[in-house]
Amino acid sequence: MSSAFLQEEEVQYCFDNINGSCYKTSWPFGTRITLYVMLCLLTILTLGGNLMVMISIAYFKQLHSPTNFLIASLACADFCLGLTVLPFSSIRSVETCWYFGETFCRFHSCLDLSFCYSSVFHLCFISIDRYIAVTDPLIYPVKFTVALSGLFIAVAWTVSLVYTFSIVFTGANDEGVKELVNALSCVGSCQLVFNKTWTVISSVIFYIPVVTMITLYCRIFAVAKRQARMIEIMNNNVQSCGNYRVGKRERKAAKTLSIAVITFLVFWTPYNITAISDPFLNFIIPPHVFDIMVWLTYSNSAMNPLIYSLFYPWFRKAMKVIVSCKILRLDCSTMNLFHD
């Protein structure tokens, strides 16, 4: 009797005064503080790094190019994720409870998925840009203009927001499995569930851009290798040397952005495999496994600025100027960030 009573006393709920409240996992104090510090640092890194990218491209006139506008919009998606999604997800993960209501849960989930789809669409459009720049550099400035870049940005944001809100916020994603959802749900839970139909559709929408990216970057490197051999043969020609410098810059940009794509795939693949398989396994995957996978995907939003800082000298130079407050000088926006 006494042991059973003690076990009942040790059980904690998200909401003590509400029937049907979720159970709450009580972490030791040190573990809770460690988790909050780690997630807070990840959020700050996501916000700070992507803000640097946006400021650099917006401020320095030399960086005003179609490719960089796409990169800035991608950074904006990651920044918005860090600003509007990560703080609430941090509290949910550490406290193991959702304290912000069912309506905001769906809104939070919509934003989460929207920024995800926006990121993959941006990366896909960037791969198209790099493909044209490397395979057809002479007419690239005519084909890929700022207006076309703006159109791609509008499509990436509009499609991701409209699709996600129309499916998740209306509740269409869990039609047909609501009995199971109601049986598993409790007050203080915020776990998004997709039925089999919408799981397949969402996966197709996600992986079509991914396959497109992989295909284009494979062709880019094949073409770049062939161009390098041709330039080496013609290296005595002065004009060829100039083309070589331009081509080398384009290939380096393609290489750097392909690393960003590979990183995206590494961080997102475990979650996608888990999310796709869960409906077909009758939702047996534990919530904490999903939570780990979700935070792995969140970490990708902090990676792109780190990649740029490692491979783009112009980004490192721009960051130094911004951090040192030299951007307050009137003539600073026209400074040269590239090394010839």
Q: How many CB atoms sit inside 10 A of residue 226's CB? A: 11
- Taking alpha carbons only, the member of 130, 144, 92 closest to residue 254 is 130
pLDDT at 339 over 80: no
What's the whole-model pTM score? 0.86
Tokens, residue 179: 């009995």
Mean pLDDT of 235-250: 51
List, for residues 32-58, the tens digit of each pLDDT value. Answer: 999 999 999 999 999 999 999 999 999
pLDDT at 315 over 50: yes
CATH of 26-334, one of 3.40.50.300, 1.20.1070.10, 3.40.980.10, 3.40.50.1100: 1.20.1070.10
Share of the chain above pLDDT 70, in %: 86
Contact assessment for residue 24 and residue 14, using Cβ atoms and an 8 Å cutoff:
yes
Contact assessment for residue 67 and residue 75, using Cβ atoms and an 8 Å cutoff:
no
List, for residues 275-302, the tens digit of each pLDDT value. Answer: 888 888 877 888 788 889 999 999 999 9
Cα(189)–Cα(13) distance, integer angstroms? 11
List, for residues 258-278, the tens digit of each pLDDT value. Answer: 788 888 888 988 888 888 888
- In this prediction, residue 161 has a pLDDT band, given cuts at 50, 70 and 90, of very high
- Taking alpha carbons only, the member of 178, 190, 177 closest to residue 290 is 190
pLDDT at 232 over 70: no
The full set of domain ranges for the chain reads 26-334
